Structure 1
Amino acid sequence: MRKSRFATVIGVAAAATLLTITQASAWPTENDLATATSGPDNLEDCAPATSGSQACFHMFGDWFSAKDRAKDGYSAVALWRAKDANGTIMRGGNVWNKDGVGTTRWKNKNLPDGYYVDWASCLGDYATKRILEGSCGPMKRIINQ
């Protein structure tokens, strides 16, 4: 009986680990450093700002911008996902601005036309590439054309 329980516990733990790995690796996360100090001149669409960041997307040219709004020691991050019509995430990632408070940095991406693009303003630790839990504002959505 004891061996049976142990085998069950090990089996459940292995299945949970496999499920976590499978879900986490379903699509790659692109981590990009935004280095351009200027971007396109067209209209931008911004996700709701947080106290520390503002992330915007420029559909014409697929530019993301991340503005650092607070002297808090964290980087501003544009967290984004490109989804097909079924809602399946095809690509996703983070555009990092590590240049400090008051700066806006830009990164050009080549995203497929006709996909939904969701993005949010977040804060993170650039050294570890980790988004701070609870730091993201609500996601914004646009159909990339």
Structure 2
Amino acid sequence: MNKTLNTSSKFLDIFKRILVKFRKSGFGIKLIKNLPKLTDYFNDRDVSILGKIKVFFSFVVTIIYFVFAIDIIPEVLFGPIGFLDDAFMIIWMIGTINEELEKYRGPKDYSIRNSKKVYKNPNIIDDVSYNIKDED
């Protein structure tokens, strides 16, 4: 009995984390806005290879889950409730990809980042020069 409660609690915690990711992604709207960043994200050498693998892996796993007939909750047995696992996979993919794309701010080179193609971080001020005067 205690193992069952512990397992269900862990499952609900995981589900909660995924739903929070989905909410932070604006229920998929921010992902749609961030999709043009995807090519820059994969071509940028400053981006961690683990981040790229994470985005690619989440997309591929979701596609494989839909292509193959393997289901955690089969629609044949449970009817419309069986679509919950499919929705869960989509929510997980959207949250994971959007989380990584939100971290990505574009190339560090000013000339590239100044182009309209690259997304800028509003917290970074470019093209600023400083003069320090020593007062005697």
After TM superposition, is the score higher than 0.5?
A: no
| Larger RCO, structure (CA 8 Å, separation 6 or more) | 2
- Give TM-score, length-normalised by structure 2: 0.27
Rg (Cα) greater in structure: 2
More helix by share: 2
